[in-house]
Amino acid sequence: MNIPPLAQLSFCMVMASLLASFAPLAAFHAPVWLIAFEAIAGVAFLLPAFVSFVRHKTTVNPQSPEAATTLVTSGIYSITRNPMYVGMLILLIAFVLWLGALSAVLAVIAFFLIIDRFQIRSEERVLIQLFDNPYQDYAARIPRWLFIRSKLDSSND
């Protein structure tokens, strides 16, 4: 996908804000501790993932997965294959909780579907080409998202 994931996250945050402002379906009030917990949890996935890539001297740029030099499978990557996207999703959930409008959840769903369908699948196709069996073995053991197991799909859906 040609749109950077951080830009996709930003777009979904704007979408959530607009939905909360102009279509505030089922307003609610989330406690500050819950919003803070969600935000900290998001950073707890993002930061170690980024540090792992830097430590292994491989690309952090999701727009050029072909530049990956190492398959990182340890640390946070032993919990999920995509901790950076999990972290972004959790941060978006924290933002929606802060906005306090159920309609803003549509932005969370949109982010999840776009990242899963277009970004992750295209990255996986490249990683299969680069690392073949080691990546496929890793993908068979570790879920794409936290608790969501997804089979590898190397086709061009």
61 occurs within a structural domain: yes
Sign of CA dihedral 68, 117, 138, 40: positive
63-86 per-position pLDDT tens digit:
888 999 999 999 999 999 999 999
109 occurs within a structural domain: yes
Cα(55)–Cα(121) distance, integer angstroms: 25
64 occurs within a structural domain: yes
102 occurs within a structural domain: yes
The pair of structure tokens assigned to 94 is 């924290």
**Is residue 80 within 8 Å of 89, Cβ to Cβ?**
no
51 occurs within a structural domain: yes
Domains: count for the chain? 1
154 occurs within a structural domain: no
**Which of 115, 114, 121, 120 lies closest to 154, judged by CA?**
121
24-61 per-position pLDDT tens digit:
888 999 999 999 999 999 999 999 999 999 999 999 98
Q: Decide: helix, strand or coil at residue 27.
A: strand
Cα(1)–Cα(63) distance, integer angstroms: 7
38 occurs within a structural domain: yes
Domain that holds residue 11: 5-21+31-141
103 occurs within a structural domain: yes
